[in-house]
Amino acid sequence: MEIFGAVITLIGSIFLLLGGLGILRMPDVYNRMQTGTKATTLGSILFLIGISIGHYECGCLGKIAIIILFIIFTNPISSNTLARAAHFAGIKLTSRSVKDDLKEDDLENKGEEK
């Protein structure tokens, strides 16, 4: 049981490390947002589940479940808000990016207003 929990915790901590590495290496704000929120969300959920399996005798599983639910609810909201703020603050995409749906929507809305 403890070995199973340790393996899941190791996978989660490697995901957290890869999230930090992607924050450092990615070329753009939006790509950094991808790695920095998705990999970190999955990594922290795996990490907390593995820890609570490994320490199942401590009687603190309810609080860890509350923390997991809170991470699931709040992490996408904060990443979406940050991406929207970066877009409307006028930060450019990298030169290798292909498509920008939000910019096209803005242009269409301005055309309808005219």
Residues in touch with another protein (CB under 8 A): 2, 5-6, 9-10, 12-14, 16-21, 23-24, 29, 32-33, 36-37, 40-41, 43-44, 47-48, 51, 54-55, 58, 60, 63-64, 66-67, 70-71, 74-75, 77-79, 81-82, 84-86, 88-89, 91
Rounded to an integer, what distance in angstroms lies between the CA atom of residue 76 and that of residue 56? 29
Given a contact cutoff of 8 angstroms between Cβ atoms, the answer to whether 19 and 49 are in contact is: no
> Going along 8-113, which residue ranges are E strands?
none
Output 34 or 114, the one with its CB closest to another protein. Answer: 34
Find how far residue 64's CA is from the centre of its chain.
Answer: 19
Supply the minimum distance, in Å, between the C-beta of residue 78 and another protein. Answer: 5
- Give the residue carrying structure tokens 């979406």: 80
Nearest to 103 by CA among 80, 90, 30, 33: 90
Supply the minimum distance, in Å, between the C-beta of residue 110 and another protein. Answer: 18
Output 25 or 104, the one with its CB closest to another protein. Answer: 25
Output 57 or 101, the one with its CB closest to another protein. Answer: 57
Supply the minimum distance, in Å, between the C-beta of residue 69 and another protein. Answer: 10
